[in-house]
A and B are shown apart, each in its own frame.
Chain A
Amino acid sequence: MKTVANLSDYKSTTRGTGSPSSIILAVGGGKGGVGKSFLSTNIGIFLANMGFNTIIVDCDLGAPNVHTCLGEAPPKLNFHQFLSGRLENFEAAAVATQFAKLRFIAGGNDHQELANITIHDQSRLMSAIYTLNADFTILDLSAGTHTSTLDFFLMADRHLITLTPDPTSIENAYRFMKAAFFRRIKRFERQLGLEALVASIMAEPEKNEIRVPADLLSRILKENPEAGRELEKFMHHLRFELVINQTRSTKDVQLANSVSTVSKKYFGLPAGVLGHLDYDNAVWHALRKRRPLILEFPNSPLYAQILAIARDLASPHLKKAVI
C-alpha cells in the first residue's frame, strides 16, 4: 500500500521564481542545545517511515552533528565537496542511512572556513537545496541569528522553532523570530519599492508609534496600501510553528500556547504550536550510545509525540481515502 501522495501539485509561493522540488522544513530556534538536531533527525526518520523520500541537510555549518544523532559515522561526502567543486551534483553528497528512504547531507567536519560561508557559496547551496529531488527536505539549522542561518530558515515552506521552557531559550527563540521577521521584510522591501518608506519609519520608531514589529506592517499598509498588501502576503507565509521540547509539566506545555499568543500579538503574524516533547532521560541514554531514540527506546512516550508532529507535517500531502 502506498501512502505517498502526488507531490507535484504542491506549489510553494514563498520564493519569487519557480517552486522547490521538495517540501522544505526548516528547524531553527536561536539557542543551542534545545533539540534542533534531535527533532530534525527524528522527524526525518518518521517521514521516511511513512514512505516519503526524505533528505536531512545539516545546515549547522560550523558544528554539524546530524550524523551522530542518526547513529552514523561521519561520512566522507559532505557540503565541502560540493562547495569546492569536487562534486557536480549536490544530491550526490546525500548518503543513505540505516532507514530506508532517508538520506542526509553532512556538514563538513574538517574544513576550517566552512562556518563562514561566502554569499556566493550560500546562494549556490540554497539553489542546490531548492532543487533536491525528494519529498521532504529537512534543514537542521545552527544556533544564533547569523544571516546565512536566517536565509536557510526563510527559504523553507514550514518554519519550525524549537524551544525549551527555560527563559534563556524563550528569549533566544523570540530573538530568532524577530531577526527572521526583519530579514524577510528586508528581502522583499526592495522588490516592492518600500526601502525608503521602511527606512523613514524605522528612523523614528517613537514618533511613528512603532512599538512592536506588527505596527511596522500596519504602518506600511497605511502609507502604501498596494505594496503593503503584497508585503503582507509575503510576510504571512512566515508562519512560525513552535515545538516545545523538554517539557516536564502541563504548565510547560501550556507555555507553548502562551508563546504563540504573545508572538502573534508582537509580530502580527500567524503562529502555531506544532507539538511538544516531554523531557526523557532516554534521549540522553540513546545519544550516549549514538543510536537513534526510536531504535533504542521504542517504548518512550516521545515516540508518539514525534509521530504526531511528523504526521502533522505530512498530513497535507498524504493521500486520504475518500468514502
Chain B
Amino acid sequence: MRGEDEAMQMREGARAAMAGKTFDQNFYDLLEIPRNAAHHEIVAAYQRAKEAYSPDSPALYTMFSKEEATELRRLIDEAFMVLGNQTKRREYDNILLAREGRSETERPPAQPAPTPSVSPAPNIPAPANTNAPLPEGFARSRLSVYEIRADMEHEIANQKNFDGPFLRKVRQYKGIHVDQMSKETRISRSYIVAVEAEDFDALPAPVFVRGFIIQIARILALDENRVANSYMTRLNVKES
C-alpha cells in the first residue's frame, strides 16, 4: 500500500531535482543514471552506489563525514525504492516533469515526453485478462484497460488512412506501452517504434513489415487487413 507520507517523500525528491545540490539531487542524478535508464541499469547503479557508500568503503574516507555518508546511504536506498518500482517510478517521473515544466517553461523537457504509460488510475482494475466487470465507461483491450472516449472511438471508426502516427495514437489511447506490445507480439521494440515513426529505413523487407502491422492491429483491435493495406500502400509510395 502506498502511504500518504511516501507520496510526500517523492514530491520532496522532485523538489530537490531543481535545487541542484549534492544532497538534494533527484533520484536519477543521485544514482547517476539517465532518465530513461532500463530497470537493470537502475539495479546495477544501485549496487554500485551501495558498494561505494558502504560504511567500510575506503573510497569514502576523508571525502564525506560519517553523518553525510549515512545520509547518502539513506538517499540511495530511497531512490532505489522509488525507481526500482515501476509504478512508483512512473509517478515520480510525472512529478519531476511537472516540476520542471513549472520552473523552466522556456526549456523543453530534457528528453521526449514519456509514452503515456499503462499505469491505471487507482480505481481501475489493472489486469487485462481477468473477467471482473469493468466500471462504467471503461473498456478492455488484450493488454490493458482504458477509458472510452467518444471522439477517439469515432475517429477510429472513420479512419481510412492508417499511418504510423495514427497507430501510435490508438495505442496510447488504449494505454498500451511499447514494451508490452513488444512482449506480446515478439516484435522488437525498435521495430515498433520505427513503424510508428514511419522510419522505413529502419524496417526490414516489406513482407515482414506487413506481418508486424497485422500483429499490431490485432492487439489494437483494429481491422487487420484494412490497416495493413493502408500502411503498406504508404510504405510502397515512400519507397518508390
Binding site for B on A (CB under 8 A): 165, 167, 170-171, 174-175, 209, 211-212, 214-215, 218, 221-222, 254-255, 257-259, 261-266, 268
Contact = CB atoms under 8 A, between A and B. Distances in A.
Interface of B: 20-23, 32, 48-49, 51-53, 57-64, 68, 72
A261 B52 contact: yes
A323 B58 CA distance: 46
A224 to B, nearest CB: 14
Contacts of B52: 257-259, 261-262
A261 B62 contact: no
A310 to B, nearest CB: 26
Given A218-B20, A221-B20, A265-B22, A258 B59 contact: yes
Given A211-B68, A261-B32, A264-B32, A170 B61 contact: yes
A116 to B, nearest CB: 28
Contact of A266 (B32, B49, B64): B64
Nearest to A165: B58
B63 A174 contact: yes
A215 B21 contact: yes
B62 A174 contact: yes
Contact of A257 (B51, B63, B64): B51
20 contacts: A171-B61, A171-B62, A175-B62, A211-B68, A212-B64, A215-B21, A215-B22, A222-B20, A257-B48, A258-B48, A258-B57, A261-B53, A262-B53, A262-B59, A262-B60, A262-B63, A262-B64, A263-B63, A264-B32, A265-B32
B18 to A, nearest CB: 10
A68 B209 CA distance: 66
A236 to B, nearest CB: 15
A222 B21 CA distance: 11
A303 B6 CA distance: 53
Contacts of B68: 211
Nearest to B61: A167
A265 B57 CA distance: 15
B22 A212 contact: yes
A261 B62 CA distance: 15
Given A167-B58, A266-B63, 19 more contacts: A165-B58, A167-B61, A170-B59, A171-B61, A209-B21, A211-B23, A215-B22, A218-B21, A255-B57, A255-B58, A255-B59, A257-B48, A257-B52, A258-B57, A258-B60, A261-B32, A261-B52, A261-B59, A266-B64
Contacts of A261: 32, 48-49, 52-53, 59
A206 B218 CA distance: 62
4 interchain residue pairs of minimum CB distance: A258-B59, A258-B52, A261-B52, A218-B20
